[in-house]
Amino acid sequence: MWKEAEGLRCAAIAQAILETSTLEHVDLAAANDITLTGANAIFVAMLGNSSVNSLDLSSKPSCVRNRIVLKEMLIYNKSLKHLNVAGTSLGHEGLQVLARGLMGNTCLLTLDISQNSAGNKGASYIAEVLKVCALEELSMSENRIGKTMAVVNLR
């Protein structure tokens, strides 16, 4: 019953994202655990949205399980300027997919990928994409990145 109610809430949020031209910030960080289906509905709604410029999914690992949909959202959405996926257990594999979505992205300005166990491998994927995306602010704290990797990526 709870999952059904959560699914209905996510469907309502997705519908609002699709239909409302004044909605600028969607913060789901404090929401109950969002199902994968609910998260997918939100990402699909974001594909064609032109008003939401900030999306906070921090501490919601279930939201980013379908990394392909997240990647597609980053490729096709042209309004999202701020994305927070801190603490979502992306790991280096998830950051690789996220980096692919950022390739050529010209609108995302701030990205928080803190607390995702990225390690040096995940950091290297992000370092490569920084050369070709519009990011102005990046938070990668608490990702088990070695000192050598941090120094190399700053150059």
In this structure, how many other beta carbons lie within 10 angstroms of the beta carbon of residue 22?
Answer: 5
Residue 153 has pLDDT above 60, yes or no: no
- pTM for the whole structure: 0.87
Domain assignment of residue 37, given as a range = 2-17+29-143
Question: pLDDT for 45-76, tens place per residue?
Answer: 999 899 999 999 898 776 677 788 889 999 99
What CATH number is given to the structural domain containing 93? 3.80.10.10
In a domain, residue 58? The reply is yes
Q: What is the pLDDT of residue 147?
A: 64
**Number of domains the chain contains:** 1
User: Are 31 and 2 spatial neighbours (Cβ–Cβ below 8 Å)?
Assistant: no
User: Are 43 and 14 spatial neighbours (Cβ–Cβ below 8 Å)?
Assistant: no
User: Are 88 and 60 spatial neighbours (Cβ–Cβ below 8 Å)?
Assistant: yes
Query: Rounded distance, CA 40 to CA 64, Å?
Result: 9
